[in-house]
C-alpha cells in the first residue's frame, strides 16, 4: 500500500490523537502534518513562510472552527480551494450548504466527529486518487 500524505487542520489535540488511532486501526500507511489554526493552514496550502517545503496532501481534514481564520475563511483565502481534496469536519447543515455552493464540497466529504474507520474510509472514496487506497483498506479492515 502506498503512503498517503494527510493534512489535519485541527486545533483540538484529542481529535488529532483520535484520528491517529483510527488510521492505525485500519492499517493506513500515512504521513500526517498538523496545523492548529487557519492562518497556518493557508500558509501550508500555499507553501509559504515556514511551510515552503510542505508536502502536497493527498487528503485535507479541515475543521471549520479554528483560531485566527475559520475553515471557510481558509478556503476563501486559497485560490485553488475547489480543486483540493478536502473533507470538512462539521455537523452544521447551514455550513454544508454554503460549502457545497461556494466550493463544490458534497455529501461524503463531510466527517462528523469523532471519526471512525467507516467514516474515514468513506471519505477516501470521495477522491479518485484515493479510491484504490480505500479499497485496499476496506479489504484488510
CATH number at residue 122: 3.40.50.2300
The Cα-based distances of 77 to 39, 55, 74, 119 in angstroms read 9, 19, 5, 27
Domains identified in the chain, total number: 1
Are 60 and 85 a contacting pair, CB within 8 Å?
yes
Q: Sign (positive/negative) of CA torsion 30, 36, 39, 40?
A: negative
d(CA 139, CA 105): 27
pLDDT score of 30: 95
Burial of 27-61, coded b for 16+ CB within 10 Å and e otherwise, reads ebebebebbbbbbbbbbbbeeeeebeebeebbbbb
Q: Which domain holds residue 49?
A: 4-140
pLDDT score of 96: 75
Q: What is the pTM of this model?
A: 0.88
pLDDT score of 17: 94
Residue with cell 485535507: 60
10-residue mean pLDDT series, the chain (141 residues): 91 92 92 98 97 96 93 92 85 73 73 82 85 84 67
Structure-block grid coordinates of residue 36: 492548529
Amino acid at each position: 500500500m502506498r503512503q498517503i500524505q494527510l493534512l489535519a487542520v485541527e486545533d483540538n489535540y484529542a481529535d488529532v490523537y483520535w484520528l491517529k488511532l483510527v488510521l492505525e486501526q485500519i492499517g493506513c500507511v500515512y504521513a500526517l502534518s498538523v496545523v492548529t489554526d487557519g492562518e497556518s493552514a493557508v500558509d501550508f496550502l500555499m507553501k509559504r513562510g515556514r511551510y515552503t517545503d510542505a508536502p502536497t496532501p493527498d487528503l485535507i481534514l479541515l475543521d471549520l472552527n479554528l483560531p485566527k481564520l475559520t475553515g471557510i475563511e481558509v478556503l476563501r483565502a486559497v485560490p485553488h480551494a475547489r480543486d483540493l481534496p478536502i473533507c470538512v469536519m462539521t455537523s452544521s447543515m447551514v455550513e454544508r450548504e454554503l460549502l457545497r455552493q461556494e466550493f463544490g464540497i458534497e455529501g461524503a466529504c463531510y466527517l462528523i466527529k469523532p471519526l471512525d474507520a467507516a467514516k474515514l474510509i468513506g471519505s477516501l472514496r470521495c477522491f479518485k486518487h484515493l479510491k484504490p487506497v480505500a479499497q485496499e483498506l476496506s479489504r484488510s479492515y
